[in-house]
Amino acid sequence: MDYDRDKHKYEGFCTPLMNKLGYVNEEHKKFCLKLVRNLGRYSDDFKFQYFTSEYCTNLNNWVYDSKKKYNIPDNIIDNCFQDYIDYMTQIGAQPKCSYYSYDDIYEPINIIMLKIFESNVNVLISTLNQENNIFIPSCQNYVCELVKIYNYMNSILCAKGKEGDEKKEKTCDILKNFYDIYKWFFFVKLHNTNKIPSLDNIEAEYLDKCVPNERKQPLTPVDSETTYTVSSLSSDEYANPRKSPSQVPVNDENQGSSMSRTVSTAFGTVAGASSILALLYKVTLISIYIYENYCVIMFILHLPLIL
């Protein structure tokens, strides 16, 4: 940021905004500068006219991670996006990006993980369709974890109806979109699906393709006396690297009844779910980050200016 020749332009917006809102937190100002820069409103190359949906999704993912990590107030985010939207309207262009807070859905960290798959599905296809790519095993592990997350969320949120719960409906719509993209990925694009589970008959597919024989057990606990419940349907429990990667018992505060679950903590074990998102935005090539025997694919995300 210090070497950005347009930094004075970002400060011309952020400094008065911070003063107006009464904020003196340095991290809040740094966030403002980065968000304004990546929204492109002050760029000389008019990059804001060429934003893709993937770019905007990745930008919102970063905003959510920063918001949680640095306790960024919503009015800073809203003002930055509004400045961008006002300028686009002024020049007669349709805004390409809007702010999506993730506060109106359940399990935002898990949803972000699924959206990262959607934004980078072509990277996965390219990798998995090569015969000797060294990243194939980790890509397979990554896909298995996504299938586990999808199965868990779809089972507790969408399988028994969602009428009357707008938050649940929005979450299930996102899960349905993931399902459609995954089916296209699995049935149309992959050359070899022998080690990648489909979303049809998930239990059997997951056990057959994702779990070593010595560790095979159902995705959903079958012991009727063992109950695992969901606390506010949040993913905070995922972020504790000391929890078991197979099952995490938690309490339900909002649902009124218990729902069986088997929690995947592969993402959370990587120094916390928030930290992994930060890492995702710092890579410049596909690489592997290993923590306690878990591998996570770090895709190329086209947000180089965020760093």
Residue 251 pLDDT > 70, yes or no?
no
Query: Among 21, 1, 19, 22, which Cα is nearest to 10's?
Result: 1
In a domain, 295, yes or no: yes
- Tell me, yes or no, whether 60 and 134 share the same domain: no
In a domain, 139, yes or no: yes
- Tell me, yes or no, whether 237 and 286 share the same domain: yes
- Tell me, yes or no, whether 75 and 175 share the same domain: no
* 49-53, 59-63, 151-155: segment of lowest average pLDDT: 49-53
In a domain, 103, yes or no: no
pLDDT at residue number 33 = 94
pLDDT digits (tens, 9 = 90+) for 189-203: 999 998 899 998 888
The pairing of strands 294-298 and 287-291 is: antiparallel
Return the higher-pLDDT residue of 101 and 171.
Answer: 171
pLDDT at residue number 131 = 86
Q: What span, in angstroms and rounded, lies between the C-alpha atoms of 140 and 196?
A: 6
Domains identified in the chain, total number: 2
- What average pLDDT score do residues 227-255 get? 30
Host domain of residue 32: 7-90
CA distances (Å), origin 190, targets 194, 212, 230:
10, 22, 34
In a domain, 194, yes or no: yes
- Tell me, yes or no, whether 79 and 138 share the same domain: no
Return the higher-pLDDT residue of 136 and 307.
Answer: 136
- Tell me, yes or no, whether 167 and 49 share the same domain: no
- Tell me, yes or no, whether 167 and 67 share the same domain: no
Return the higher-pLDDT residue of 288 and 34.
Answer: 34
- Tell me, yes or no, whether 144 and 85 share the same domain: no
Helices and strands, number each (H, E), in the chain: 10, 2
- Average per-residue pLDDT for the chain: 72
- Tell me, yes or no, whether 178 and 33 share the same domain: no
In a domain, 36, yes or no: yes
pLDDT at residue number 215 = 57
- Tell me, yes or no, whether 84 and 172 share the same domain: no
Cα three-residue angle 217-222-226, rounded to 5 degrees: 115
- Tell me, yes or no, whether 268 and 143 share the same domain: yes
pLDDT digits (tens, 9 = 90+) for 3-42: 678 889 999 999 999 999 998 899 999 999 999 999 988 8
